[in-house]
Amino acid sequence: MIIAKGLAVEAGGRALVAAVDLALYPGDKVGLVGRNGAGKTTLLRTLAGLRPPAAGSVASSGVIGYLSQEAALPELEHPAATALERILSVRRIGLLQRQMEEARRRMESGSAVERDRAIRRFARLEAEFEVAGGYRAEAEARRFAAAVGIGREEMSQPVATMSGGQRRRVELARVLFAETDALLLDEPTNHLDLDAKGWLVDFLAGYAGGLMVVSHDLPLLDAAITSVLGFEDSGLEAYRGNYSHYLEEGERRREQRRRQRRHQEEQLAQMEATIRRFKGKTEKMARKATTMETRADRLRSNLVEVGARRRGVKLRFPQPEPSGRVPLEGRGLAKAYGDNVVFVDVNVHLERGERLLLLGLNGTGKTTLLRLLAGVEAPDLGTVTHGHRVAVGYYAQEHEGIVPEATVLEHLQAVSAEPERVLRGILGHFLLADRIDQPAGTLSGGEKTKLALAQLVAGRHNVLLLDEPTNNLDPQAKEALLAALRSYRGTVALVSHDSAFVAALAPDRAVLMPEGEAAYFDDSLLDLVALA
């Protein structure tokens, strides 16, 4: 259970929520919705106890499970902790399992005294392991992992060597495996395939604890939640029902406020006309005018807030200088992390102006291949060649290019020599004009995505390498990105699990990972996009 009273939340010196009372009880299933940057992630982190409120208080009882939308490498109990150990560690079972294995190794080697000591230690650890439900819990952890798309081999892979998408699925499995009384989930469907999303919806619908979820995955919001907290201009507003009901009811409330505001303004106009007529007349009429002025002032102070019409993101990639006919090529590429071989002997050939989609199941090396092509990492084998007059822009799904301490404006100045007024204009198109002096680390996930896209716009690249660029974007911003890419005459290589976005972009070719097999793209491959 979570109860907040008089809650105020700020980010980067900007007020997001003020004087809010809210509660999350067992059985509540709440969708937290609002535009990018409204404060959803910051509010969720505050309720989870990960940051202090600017004012007010947050009290909770029971075990709270929190999933961040960031896929940063978590603090590990052991540097070489595997995915299985990471999931089990939420119940301390993972650490016990590793300690038991260390004791077993000592039992097999060393002196008689050391073996006796190791046997006693193993017995104590095994008893604690069994009390914690260890053997049964391991099977349960594997079921959760498989449900969210973590393969059997990935379970023994060190978390430190995993991609951002793999790490995030591990963290999702971990928080769902934990025995929680409330779940606070921030974009839980990012990096999930179609089957995993369906399983997650069913799991959340049947979850007995309190649930608060931030998601741009509308089917999840419709199927799994029973109420909505919406970030409006006037603060947080509560709605009973699912997301579809929220959209209808929200528009009805806005129309009601607009009618009420028009009525108030008509009343005010009539009062002001009467005051002008009465002023300067007889003393009696002047007193009436003074009384009416008081009433008019009171009405002005109580005008219903309608809220300004929200601006949309305006995204356009400048038409680039043409590159050579083959702007980017990889030959015989291979990459491994320790014992984990990601792919071997992959060839990629990009033609000028082409749209290329990298396809494959989770963990097959799509992100790794994109990083090799971008020059962020070096291949273990093979070569990457950039063609004539090529300027590569790389969008990393984990916002690796975002420096938390640097301001929003400094990020654009790092990639462009354009005057500050031009850069400010670009940020304005991404609705970041009022964040210019704000440290980028205080931005929401959606705002970081917009900042990374703004860097691509400012960089004037003729080759764009995009890794899950729609993650964390609200629907309007996603539409703006799609329109910009469709009109862009440069070359694009893309990784995306968003089948609707991919279908609308209509790539020319696809490369299927991990084999690296190339094929012309058609609608039959959209099923694989959804599974990726």
Reported as a single tens digit per residue, the pLDDT across 459-487 is 889 999 999 888 878 777 888 888 888 88
CB count in 10 Å sphere of residue 32: 25
DSSP state of 161: G
> Could you write out the DSSP letters of every residue in 367-425?
HHHHHHHHTSS--SEEEEEE-TT--EEEE-TT-TT--TTSBHHHHHHTT--S-HHHHHH
pLDDT in tens, 397-433: 878 788 889 999 999 999 888 898 888 888 888 888 8
Lowest mean pLDDT among 127-131, 438-442, 455-459: 127-131
For residues 145 and 298, which has the higher predicted lDDT (pLDDT)? 145
Task: Give residue 147's pLDDT.
Answer: 94
For residues 49 and 105, which has the higher predicted lDDT (pLDDT)? 49
pLDDT in tens, 192-202: 887 888 899 99
Task: Give residue 287's pLDDT.
Answer: 77
pLDDT higher than threshold 80 for residue 530: no
Q: How confident is the model at residue 94 (pLDDT cuts 50, 70, 90)?
A: low
Task: Give residue 132's pLDDT.
Answer: 67
Question: 252 CB contacts (<8 Å, ≥6 apart)?
Answer: none
pLDDT higher than threshold 80 for residue 242: yes
Q: How confident is the model at residue 233 (pLDDT cuts 50, 70, 90)?
A: low
pLDDT in tens, 169-188: 999 999 999 889 999 999 99
- Length of the chain in terms of residues written: 532
pLDDT in tens, 297-356: 888 887 767 655 555 667 777 788 889 999 999 999 999 887 788 899 999 999 999 999
Percent of the chain with pLDDT over 70: 95
Unique residue bearing structure tokens 């059985």: 27
Alpha helices in 109-160 (DSSP H): 112-131, 134-147, 152-155
User: Three-class SS of residue 188?
Assistant: coil
pLDDT higher than threshold 80 for residue 111: no
Q: Which amino acid is at 421?
A: R
Mean pLDDT of the chain: 85
Overall pTM > 0.95: no
Q: How confident is the model at residue 379 (pLDDT cuts 50, 70, 90)?
A: very high
pLDDT higher than threshold 80 for residue 208: yes
